[in-house]
Amino acid sequence: MRTKFVRDLSVDEYELYRRHAAIIRKFSKDHELFRLVVRAFEAYERFMKNAVEAVRSNAELNQEALVDYSFEPGALILEFLNTSRIFVDHFRLKIIRAFGECSAELTSHVDLLGSEFDKYFSYRLLYKLRNYTTHCGLPLLHFQLKRVPGEHASLIVTMEPGELLDSFDGWGKIVRGDLESHKNDLYVLPLLRENVGSIHYIFHSLYGELYRDEVLDSLDLRIFGVGLPRNGLCNCGGRARCPRASSDFGVCGCSRDEMPH
């Protein structure tokens, strides 16, 4: 790739470039944390798909052979919970450093997290499950295997509400009530999938309210004679980086209905 020399930058232009580059770097680091959560979910989903294919195609596998598959799902769930915790803690501290502990910005962010907690059982449960793993290790996972060799198969990972209640007393009144009301096992994959939607919504809302204009302004390089980049953040005019097009999405103007559930 050749670099075409146009002209020297003035001191003011160089300082402007450095300022905008720093803003973009900060956004990139924040976005990487979000991508880690998405990647952890995708790793779990990919493992389950591969495991189902192995179960379907291998005539020797049976329910007892599932012991070979019992470790990896738990490890991947723990990775998802850890990256989610890092994501939430990072942005809370980011807002406190920038605006202060008594700021309206922090109050708004706490309200946003509280709204997700109130609306979605998946968010409430996995929020508490992060604390569970700190004190109790991984929850006991159950595996349901159904298959017709060479034709079709299903492998479902679940958690039993009663076992969760018996092994941990830190669920809190709301989540304890949720678990007590669930008579059937909890399916892990739908819980993780919905929680990724909440994490995306939190990231999108945070940048939409506090940082979006700043980052979009820094990405607009027309001050140096370069057009607005087509990748990265967007106003969703072309839907180039929206959730429906890719899981590796950034800040956009999508409505909640268009986010992954």
Q: Is residue 8 part of a domain?
A: no
**Residue type at position 160:** E
Nearest one of 240, 249, 205, 245 to 39, comparing CA atoms? 249
Is 59 part of a structural domain of the chain? Answer: yes
Q: What is the number of other CB atoms lying within 10 angstroms of the CB of residue 113?
A: 16
* Residue 241 counted as domain residue: no
Which structure tokens are listed for 231? 């990748």
Alpha helices for 145-261 (secondary structure H)? 161-167, 172-181, 188-206, 212-219
In this structure, what token pair is assigned to residue 137?
Answer: 């290790």
Domain span holding position 186: 15-228
Average pLDDT over residues 237-260: 37
Residue type, 220: D
Residue 239 in domain = no
The residues that bridge with 147 in the sheet, in sequence order, are 153
Q: Is residue 256 part of a domain?
A: no
For residue 119, report the phi and psi dihedrals to the nearest 5 degrees. -85, -35
At 4 the pLDDT is: 64
**Distance in angstroms between the alpha carbons of the first and the last residue of the chain:** 41
Nearest to 186 by CA among 154, 140, 127: 140
For 179-207, write each residue's pLDDT tens digit: 999 989 999 999 999 999 999 999 888 87
Integer Cα distance of 245 and 191 in angstroms = 22
Task: List Cβ neighbours of 156 (8 Å cut-off, separation of 6 or more).
Answer: 143, 144, 187, 189
Condensed to tens digits (0 to 9), the pLDDT of residues 7-34 reads 676 777 767 777 777 777 787 788 888 9
Q: Is residue 102 part of a domain?
A: yes
Q: How many domains does the chain have?
A: 1
Measure the CA–CA gap between 79 and 226, rounded to whole angstroms.
40
Q: CA 95, 99, 100, 105 torsion: positive or negative? A: negative
Two tokens at 104? 């309206």
More confident of the two residues 61 and 153: 153
Could you tell me if residue 101 is inside a domain? Answer: yes
The answer to whether position 208 is within a domain reads yes
pLDDT band at 35 (very low <50, low <70, confident <90, very high): very high
